[in-house]
Structure 1
């Protein structure tokens, strides 16, 4: 179920998290342009900008790829 304005709220929350992350990175001593690059990249990933339906990765690694959640779950089970 979606509500009117939900997307705007999520965008605002993501922007807030981005500002907080940028502040943490700057406080850790990263140069401002690099901190901005990392935050922008992270926000892009959260928006699904890395998603692709292509099979390029599978062809490159010569095997089926697995979702990260599956890989992490398998690692936790064997730990």
Structure 2
């Protein structure tokens, strides 16, 4: 089964080997036909602390690494 890849903005880099990534998704409401924006925060594993707050990164699903971490950073995402 392919692993999901999401793109979001780093909102916290305070923990060692962990960044918190805020992923925004946009969809049309099924009844109201209005564009809705929802965001969710994911804890992602990163070996080196190379990512700072405000950077756009891509994260990929992985095997659980801790209680909260089920994602890993795979690189810098494209702006836009």
TM-score interval w.r.t. the shorter chain?
A: under 0.3
More RCO (CA 8 Å, sep 6+): 2
TM-score (norm 2): 0.23
More strand by share: 2
TM-score (norm 1): 0.23
